[in-house]
Amino acid sequence: MIFFKFFNKFLSVALTAIISLSATAIPCNSGELPEYVYLGGEPFGLKMYSDGVMIVELESYFDGSKYVCPAKKGGLKESDIIKEINGTKITSNETLREAALNSDGNTLEVTFERDNKTLTKEIVPIKNTAGNYLIGAWVRDSSAGIGTVTYYDTNENYFAGLGHGICDCDTYTLMPLASGEAVIAEISSVTKSTNGSPGSLNGYFSDKVIGKITDNCDIGIYGTFDTSLTENKEKLEVAKESELKTGKATVYTTLEGNTPKAYSIEITSISRNTNSAESFTLKVTDEELLDKAGGIVQGMSGSPIVMDGKLVGAVTHVFVNSTNEGYGIYVGNMMQNYK
């Protein structure tokens, strides 16, 4: 299992993956919260394909007199998302490479997105030492990892998880979603967290598909699901924001197999910023969870938190230098953000 890079030495999202994540908040949509949902807590495998390809690194080549990066010279930057070349849709690293290889060195019209704006630049590929035409851009077109389901809403037929979005590990930019699927995951072992070094849930994907990923946004992953998954699930009332408070609570997460287990925590402080993905801080107090995991580990993102018999939120981050503590998101923020 390959783990993401930490984008902050003091704070890390709690997702086991080959990508890194950000929890920057975005405004919530208005609307009434559902009264009841089904409790999650089980791990799921995420396979996501991006809408276009994201530039993660620029590379220069020797053009006979000096080193040049065609993409950079033409005005492209890291985090740009290439959508089309000469009017042909770019869907993968392979289609981008083919467009450059087949260019014969002729100018390419590249359409891309930057800061939610669609732009066009002209790029002139050059030959590398092997004689292939390239534009000098390393790109990423897909992501995969393990997270935790927070809840299932059978009224709207969707599930939510993670409590933060999936971002590229090199640029920390939210990955644009073209398609994706969620599958049942099995946890085979736990790498224990220690202060300064968050651990992880280690596991594998099964062949059982939960559903399709429909949205990757800053405060959650959302998708359709097979309703049979809720047949033996507990139905819980959704807490109002006014009911979010400090005190003893319970987190449901999975350290082995696919069956969630309840562990005791304490909510230690509250933020009343309803647009924040960091709605409160929490501390693990359960001796078993501390003994087996050292507190919060990567892969626990989305683990639901229950207080006074109501769903109040989910785990989102672990404090790297104090791994028994972290951030959580109020569940209403996740629900109001669902599109």
At residue 275, the pLDDT reads 60
Q: What CATH number did the domain enclosing 259 receive?
A: 2.40.10.120
pLDDT digits (tens, 9 = 90+) for 154-212: 988 899 998 887 776 666 667 777 678 888 889 999 999 999 898 899 988 888 888 88
Would you say the pTM of this structure is higher than 0.85? Answer: no
At residue 286, the pLDDT reads 97
**Which residues, 6 or more positions from 116, have their beta carbon under 8 angstroms from its beta carbon?**
none
Annotated active-site residue 317? The verdict is: no
Nearest one of 3, 19, 9, 2 to 319, comparing CA atoms:
9
pLDDT digits (tens, 9 = 90+) for 104-145: 999 999 999 998 899 999 999 998 888 889 999 998 877 778
At residue 238, the pLDDT reads 95
Annotated active-site residue 286? The verdict is: yes
pLDDT digits (tens, 9 = 90+) for 17-54: 333 333 333 333 445 788 999 999 999 988 877 778 88
Residue 10 has pLDDT above 80, yes or no: no
* 160 and 18 co-located in one domain: yes
Annotated active-site residue 164? The verdict is: yes
* 235 and 318 co-located in one domain: yes
Amino acid letter, residue 102: N
Domain that holds residue 154: 11-51+141-337
Please give the average per-residue pLDDT across 284-288, as a whole number.
97
For residue 5, being part of any structural domain is answered with: no
**Which of 164, 168, 170, 303 is an active site residue?**
164
* 172 and 88 co-located in one domain: no
Residue 16 has pLDDT above 50, yes or no: no
* 216 and 249 co-located in one domain: yes
**Which of 80, 301, 303, 317 is an active site residue?**
301
Nearest one of 206, 230, 141 to 178, comparing CA atoms:
141
8 A C-beta contact, residue 276 and residue 270: no
H/E stretch holding 337 reads helix 331-337
The total of structural domains in the chain comes to 2
What's the CA gap between 209 and 301, in Å, rounded?
20
Q: What CATH number did the domain enclosing 103 receive?
A: 2.30.42.10
**Which of 141, 168, 218, 286 is an active site residue?**
286
